Amino acid sequence: MIGIVSYGTYIPKFRIKVEEIARIWNEDANAIKQNLGVFEKAVPDVDEDTATMAVEAGREAISRVRIRPEKIGAVFVGSESHPYAVKPTATIVGEALGIGNYYFSADLEFACKAATAGIQICYAMVKAGMIEYGLSIGSDVAQARPGDALEYTAGAGAVAILVGKDPIAEIEATVSYTSDTPDFWRRDLQPYPSHGGRFTGSPAYFRHIVSAAKKLMEDFGYSAKDFDFAVFHQPNAKFPQRVASMLGFNEEKIADGMLVKVVGNTYSASSLLGLCGILDKAMPDQRILLVSFGSGAGSDAFAIRVTEKILDYPRNRRVWDKVKNCVYIDYALYLKHRRMIK
Amino acid sequence: MVPRIWRRIRYRYNVIASYCESCGSYYYPQREICPKCRRRGIVKEVEINDEGTVLSYTVVNGRKIALIEFKNGTRMLAEVCGDIEIGSRVKKAFRRYGEDGEAGIIYYGTKFVPII
Ligand SMILES: [Zn+2]
């Protein structure tokens, strides 16, 4: 049985409210909150970035289980905001986590689904007997051009998923759906991403998530009622709510994973942060549907069954408790924290 | 600059002290020889992951530099991010130290944050 043996999360403590961003651009905050279902987003400290948050999430994942770091045979970091264009974030993370030198490693890029791709690679490597444990981390300081609609949701956070045998949550099945869809992109050397605006909804997000989820259910004989929880990529709160109802899940089944409302879209960490919110309360034999989405575009769907081992697993501090502890900042400090002004 | 930084990476990313197995003393920064036991001392590296206590602190160029004491008696000077006072409990955090300009190396290392 292979699956998640531990998980760790990191959410920076600073927040900016939708009202504060709307104030700068003279926009209607209530209409934006209504449209997006997002109220505030997480902002990193001046000395935090994708690598530092990845390390913090990784440290929590390792500290929750009695596994020596040297037993981790692979480290993958999925991100849209690696600190270096050339020099893998995973090398910095592996060093800080004390994993040693003999490990497989790579940075992964597939917009917001890079870290679920990392989980699939770790799963395959464990199954093949190449490694005992593999660590996949999604970490992002989401970039948005000041004044762009994305600025209201582009958040920051990291999640580390340790994959191995004897898990707290078994990965029963996984399926991916990929196509060449230009919904969101960033050319080399450009500081901010571009997007297809309204185009990003139907052919990208909804088509990929629904196709991956349906294929998973068809191939492995599940239906929506077999899942106690569901979590989907969260670019805002409305998209996952809509895709949930398209697939036959009510609000209750996605509520525990809806962290986007208070931390924004954490890109590579987004659907995984939701998964951790659910794992924080899930009981043995409950089943979770996880479907990520990465622009470009692709979705990875997973059927995850919680095992008895979760009962002895230390889940504090829980993700929803972590988000409560925060410090609100204004737009000027936000620009400083994002290193847009020095 | 780069080679010197590179050799120190391990000691910046985590808190690594010296421990004398002969007399049980801890030293930070590290020492090769225990000043109490001299040649009889067997000195090893140990990583410190415990919470620490702020004994005192000062503000230098807008940064808070604190003297932190750990359970085993080790004391170190380190930057703390966030609000602290004497007696505050802190834990290590992985943060950016700085960078060699826009095109240079980014330096990472250990700072401390208050425990909520
Ligand atoms: Zn000694």
CB contact under 8 A, A47 and B47: no
Judged by CB atoms within 8 Å, which residues 45-84 of B form the interface with A?
47, 81-82
Same domain, yes or no, for A238 and A319?
A: no
Same domain, yes or no, for A155 and A10?
A: yes
pLDDT of A244 higher than 70: yes
**Residue in A47, A52, A60 to test binding to B, most B beta-carbons within 10 Å:** A47
Cα radius of gyration rounded to whole Å, chain A: 18
Same domain, yes or no, for A164 and A33?
A: yes
CB contact under 8 A, B111 and A47: yes
Confidence of residue A41 (pLDDT cuts 50, 70, 90): very high
- Alpha carbons within 13 angstroms on the beta-carbon side of residue A53 total 34
- pTM for this model (two decimals): 0.95
Judged by CB atoms within 8 Å, which residues 255-274 of A form the interface with B?
none
Same domain, yes or no, for A176 and A130?
A: no
Same domain, yes or no, for A250 and A127?
A: no
pLDDT of B1 higher than 80: no
Same domain, yes or no, for A147 and A7?
A: yes
Q: Residue A255: give the domain boundaries.
A: 170-311
pLDDT of A167 higher than 80: yes
Q: What is the mean pLDDT of chain A?
A: 95
pLDDT of A272 higher than 70: yes
Task: Determine the average pLDDT of the residues in A216-236.
Answer: 97
Share of residues in chain A with pLDDT > 70 (%): 99
Tell me, what DSSP letter sits at residue A112?
B
Task: Determine the average pLDDT of the residues in A306-320.
Answer: 97
Q: Which residues in chain B are closer than 8 Å to A59, comparing Cβ atoms? A: 94
Q: Is residue A249 part of a domain?
A: yes
Chains A, B: CB contacts within 8 A come to: 37
Q: Is residue A342 part of a domain?
A: no
Partner residues linked to A178 by β-bridges: A298
The CATH number for A273's domain is: 3.40.47.10
Q: Is residue A305 part of a domain?
A: yes
pLDDT of A131 higher than 70: yes
What is the C-alpha end-to-end distance of chain B, expressed in Å? 37
Residue A140 CA to residue A188 CA, distance in Å, equals: 18
Same domain, yes or no, for A185 and A124?
A: no
Residue B18 and residue B26 in contact, taking contact as beta carbons nearer than 8 Å: yes
Same domain, yes or no, for A174 and A288?
A: yes
pLDDT at A199 (0 to 100): 58
The residue annotated as part of the active site, out of A80, A151, A195, A208, is: A80
pLDDT at A200 (0 to 100): 67
Residue B114 CA to residue B116 CA, distance in Å, equals: 6
Task: Determine the average pLDDT of the residues in A304-317.
Answer: 97
Confidence of residue A301 (pLDDT cuts 50, 70, 90): very high
Same domain, yes or no, for A197 and A92?
A: no
Respond yes or no: is residue A80 known to be catalytic: yes
CB contact under 8 A, B47 and A98: yes
Same domain, yes or no, for A54 and A164?
A: yes
Task: Determine the average pLDDT of the residues in B69-98.
Answer: 95
Same domain, yes or no, for A143 and A181?
A: no
The residue annotated as part of the active site, out of A195, A233, A276, A337, is: A233
Number of domains in chain A: 2
Residue A42 CA to residue A155 CA, distance in Å, equals: 5
Q: Is residue A157 part of a domain?
A: yes
Q: Is residue A152 part of a domain?
A: yes
pLDDT at A198 (0 to 100): 59
Show the domains of chain B with their CATH numbers. 15-47 (no CATH), 49-116 (2.40.50.840)
Same domain, yes or no, for A118 and A241?
A: no
Considering only the beta carbons, identify the residue of B9, B96, B116 that sits closest to A47: B96
